[in-house]
Amino acid sequence: MAGLFICPYCGAATQVSEEFAGMSGPCASCSRIITVPAHGASTGRRRFRSSGDRSTWVLATVAVLLFVGLGYGGKIVVDMLKARAQQEECAGQLHKIWVGMDNYFNEYSEYPPAVVRDKNGKPMHSWRVLLLPYLGQREEELYKEYDFNEPWNGPNNRELAEAMPLVYGCPCDPEAFISSHTSYLAVLDGATGDFATEPENPDVNRPPPKPGASTKPITPYLVVEVAESGISWLEPRDLTLRSPGVKSKPGQKKAKASESGAKPASAPYPRSFHLDAVNVLQSDGQDQALTEAEVQAAFGSPE
């Protein structure tokens, strides 16, 4: 008695006599070795492997997917951890700045001014230079080379630009270390041109407020991260606080480019290459990561 046998490899249907049951031979269509079932001819095409074969195939597929997934996913995880570590290092730089200001206060009983001006009111020196002796031995040696008898970009001082201390650069800001442009700007009061707030230290006696000065700071932020600031660390130029939502008036001239010979043509604005936030230093010495919405609420919209 003949029966219909279907090749499990190519699907070709062949009439097979019962006497060939259990025997093996080449398929007439694809030439692959096939075995006729001992119980008779098959009545349907084999669509699946045996349960054991299927389990092995599934496990192998899962293993491959896991290997590939861990390869790409692992890299993503490593990149995220690296970025988070860089953001923490950036926050650590801000804390060092705060400690430097505190040490300055301990010696002079006042905090450094944001800008040192000449008798005509021209900006001459930055707070970043004044802090050098309180940031470390290397920075103290750099301070000794700085000449306060000439402006920050005088013939002697401009030679020190490339020696920018590491504390003034965020590890995520490549321009900081290529061009010696600071990643950190003081937050200035537009009315006074000085720090909009001062560091707080519960361990020291605070000096009384200056005559006519408000006892309430207009912002809790002392220093803010500005990636690609275009401002030399020596330059006495920082971020002047504007009212939230205030934009340049029609016809108003844009800020001049930095005297360090670099951008920007517009006023500096908080910016970061971190995952999702901009680091700022508060007056109490604590660092804070601000979201884009929080930056706009505190500093207004970018120009």
Q: Is residue 58 a part of any domain in this protein? A: no
164 and 15 housed in the same domain: no
Domain identity same for 289 and 165: yes
Classify residue 201: in a domain, yes or no.
Answer: yes
d(CA 255, CA 257): 7
| Residues spanned by the domain of 31 | 2-35
Could you tell me if 24 and 121 lie in one domain? no
Q: Are residues 106 and 198 in the same domain?
A: yes
Secondary structure E strands in the chain? 2-6, 13-17, 24-26, 33-35, 115-117, 123-126, 184-188, 221-225, 239-240, 278-282, 287-290
Which residues, other chains included, contact 265 with Cβ-Cβ below 8 Å and sequence gap of 6+?
A: 254, 255, 256, 257
54 in any annotated domain: no
What residue has token string 């054991």? 52
Max alpha carbon distance in the chain (Å)? 119
**pTM (2 decimals)?**
0.66
3-state DSSP helix/strand/coil % of the chain, to nearest 5: 35, 15, 50
| 45: in domain | no
For residues 176 and 183, is the Cβ–Cβ distance under 8 A?
Answer: yes
From first to last of its 303 residues, the chain has per-residue pLDDT tens of 556 666 766 666 666 666 667 666 667 666 666 676 665 444 443 333 444 555 565 566 656 555 655 555 555 555 666 777 778 889 899 999 999 998 998 898 888 999 999 999 999 999 999 999 999 999 999 999 999 999 999 999 999 999 999 999 998 898 898 999 999 999 998 888 899 887 766 454 445 555 555 445 578 899 999 999 999 999 999 999 864 433 433 444 444 444 433 333 357 899 998 877 899 998 888 888 999 999 989 888 876
